[in-house]
Amino acid sequence: MDPATIRTRFAPSPTGYLHVGGLRTAVYAYALAKHGRGQFIVRIEDTDQKREVPGAKDKLYDILKTFGLNWDELYVQSERVGSGIYEKAAKKLLDEGHAFYCFCKPLTKDEIKENRKSKIQFRDPCHNLSKEQVEKKLAAGEKPAIRLKVPDGEFISYIDFVLRKKTSWKTDVVDDAMLLKSDGFPTYHLAVVVDDHDMKITHVLRGHDWLPSTPIHLLVYQYLGFEVPQIGHLTDIQDPSGGKLSKRKGNVAVEQFIANGFLPEAILNFVILLGWAPKDNREMFTLSEFVEHFDANGFQKSNPLFNTQKLLWFNGQYLRQKSDRELLELLRPHLKTKADDPLLLQIIPLAKSRIATLAEFEPLTRFFWQRPAPQEQISTTKEYLADALAILSKVGWNKEAIEADLVNSANSKGWNRGGYFMALRLAIAGSRISPPLTESMLILGKEEVISRLKQNLE
């Protein structure tokens, strides 16, 4: 392998769905690697057995594939525990005085809450346990965990390739972080460092929320004698109502957006531009175009707001790029009524520019299958309908003839053309908003159109 090859990874924990922020991290990591003809790796971080969600991994693989984020290598952390790789690293730190056994009880939720109010303690009670005390506890059968032994009075720093700046910490404010849990599983802090090194990751790209734990990782790298990779922290996508985008505040699951009728390419394009921008202000990017144009200097530093309006716009753009056939296939899961393909293929061109999501097709075109209830008609519109009925009964059933005769009739009687057609539209489509009238009537057929008119005249 070329030593200069870029290797990035996307390291999600399998929660059962993919967060839009996660998707964005994945695309960025993918583009960073692929722009440099490197490798993109997916690593499932599932070392917390209590949070195991059945089937979550497979769902994650599927959704990544639908976005075209194909990985070169795949790892599952829990499957690596057995090899002893994490335990070995923890032991090494222990032996060299950079970690210690901890016999404390895990904090309860209330204690964590209480701690957060005024945290002043960074050193663990077991930090300075003597060898004898440790031996005694071990002999008594106590199951220890292993924590990082953080020194005081030192400084640790790194240069962030997203923020493009150096950040440093005094080790006095760095926690004695948990590395190996008493169940033998590593925590994130140990596992990332060991895995990123083991997998020869050159660039670590992750959410901004990881920035505060970076000094811990830096110390682990240092004590393990590993070279520190490039590290970059992405912005956090904010909810329009303020704060982090979260499940409680609205949709965050990529799967949900797809179920709501958004196209993967629209979601991807939208998400790419939330936190990254090209120099030329270009808006439209497919995955391969993004890979081609990718530039790490385009990363933003401030948190963007999740703007659904723009997502809708992208979706409309991509929807209109689809052929009628492609749209037909995409629409299928969103159709409630059974309809044959030839009919749908007639309707799709009429609806294409009128929908922003796939889900909007059905309500807009429902009247083709479902005769709308008779509308409340006032006397003047009844007059219009009666006139239209007479014309449509004898007109040649084609677009030109229908339009010409209808317009001529309205004109000759001095009627308002908009009102005339609106009356007709309401009777036929049951709504003031509909696809073009003449084309719709042609699809419905003469017989059906006439009976809908009659129904409204009763």
Partner RNA sequence: GGCCCCGUCGUCUAGUGGUCCAGGACAUUUGGUUCUCAUCCAAAAGAUCGCGGGUUCGACUCCCGCCGGGGUCACCA
**Can you say which residues are annotated as belonging to the binding site for ATP?**
247
317 lines the binding site for RNA (CB under 7 A): yes
Q: Which structure tokens are listed for 388?
A: 């239209």
Sole binder of RNA in the list 66, 346, 377, 438 (CB under 7 A): 438
List binders of RNA among 5-44 (CB under 7 A). 11-13
CB of 1: closest distance to RNA in angstroms?
Answer: 26
Strand 99-102: give its sheet, edge to edge: 99-102, 145-148, 178-180
Binder of RNA out of 3, 141, 153, 242 (CB under 7 A): 242
Determine the Cα–Cα distance for residues 16 and 58; give it in Å rounded to an integer. 9
- For 360, the token pair is 């909007």
- Which one among 41, 45, 60, 368 touches RNA, defined by CB under 7 A? 45
Closest by CA to 390, choosing from 290, 457, 309, is: 457
Q: Residue 353 interacts with RNA (CB under 7 A)? A: yes
Q: Does 106 bind RNA (CB under 7 A)?
A: yes
Catalytic hit among 247, 336, 399, 413: 247
Within 8 A by CB and 6+ apart from 376, the residues are: none
**Residues 175 to 204 in contact with RNA, rule: CB under 7 A:** 175, 178, 181-183, 185-188
Smallest distance, Å, CB 191 to RNA? Answer: 7
Q: Which is nearer to RNA, 11 or 348 (CB)?
A: 11
| CA 355/CA 332 separation, integer angstroms | 15
Query: Which span sits near RNA by CB under 7 A: 66-74, 86-94, 236-244, 330-338?
Result: 236-244
Q: Which of 33, 145, 231, 296 is close enough to bind RNA by CB under 7 A?
A: 145
CA 345 – CA 326 distance, rounded (Å): 10
Q: Is 338 in the site for RNA (CB under 7 A)?
A: no
Contact 124, 149 (CB under 8 A): no
Residues 198, 199, 203, CA angle at the centre, nearest 5°? 115
Site string for RNA, 113-142 (x = CB under 7 A): --xxxxx-----------------------
Sign of CA dihedral 432, 433, 437, 441: negative
> Site for RNA (CB under 7 A): which residue of 90, 266, 274, 444?
274
* Closer residue to RNA in complex, CB, 309/412: 309
Q: Which is nearer to RNA, 39 or 315 (CB)?
A: 315
What burial class does residue 450 get, using C-beta atoms within 10 Å of its C-beta: 0-12 exposed, 13-18 middle, 19+ buried?
middle
| Least separation in angstroms between CB 3 and RNA | 27
- 3-class SS of residue 180: strand
* Closest to 457 measured CA to CA, from 386, 370, 372, 373: 386
First to last CA, the chain: 81
Residue 309 engages RNA in binding (rule: CB under 7 A):
yes
| 235 is a contact residue toward RNA (CB under 7 A) | yes
Contact pick of 5, 260, 288, 297 for RNA (by CB under 7 A):
297
Side chain identity at residue 311, one-letter code: L
Minimum CB distance to RNA smaller for 36 or for 186: 186
Verify whether residue 247 is a known catalytic residue.
Answer: yes
Beta-bridged to residue 41, according to DSSP, are 9, 73
Q: Measured from the CB atom, is 59 or 181 closer to RNA?
A: 181
Residue 359 binds RNA, judged by CB under 7 A: no
Q: Going by DSSP bridges, is the β-strand pair 145-148/99-102 parallel, antiparallel, or unpaired?
A: antiparallel
Query: Which CB atom, from 11 or from 129, has the smaller least distance to RNA?
Result: 11
Q: How many CA atoms lie within 13 A of 293 on its CB side?
A: 19
Q: Is 75 in the site for RNA (CB under 7 A)?
A: no
169 binds RNA (CB under 7 A): yes
Return the residue of 334, 354, 371, 454 that touches RNA, per CB under 7 A: 354
Indicate the residue type of 288: S
CA distances from 98 to 81, 197, 223, 225 (A): 21, 18, 7, 12
208 part of the interface to RNA, by CB under 7 A: yes
317 burial via Cβ count (<10 Å: 0-12, 13-18, 19+): middle
Is 375 a binding residue for RNA by CB under 7 A? The answer is no
Residue 163 engages RNA in binding (rule: CB under 7 A): yes
| Measured distance CA(289)–CA(287) in Å, rounded | 5
Nearest residue (CB) to RNA, 312 versus 359: 312
d(CA 339, CA 337): 6
Number of residues in contact with RNA under rule CB under 7 A: 87
Q: Within positions 379 to 418, which residues make up the interface with RNA, using CB under 7 A?
A: 403, 407, 417-418
Would you name the residues annotated as active-site residues? 247
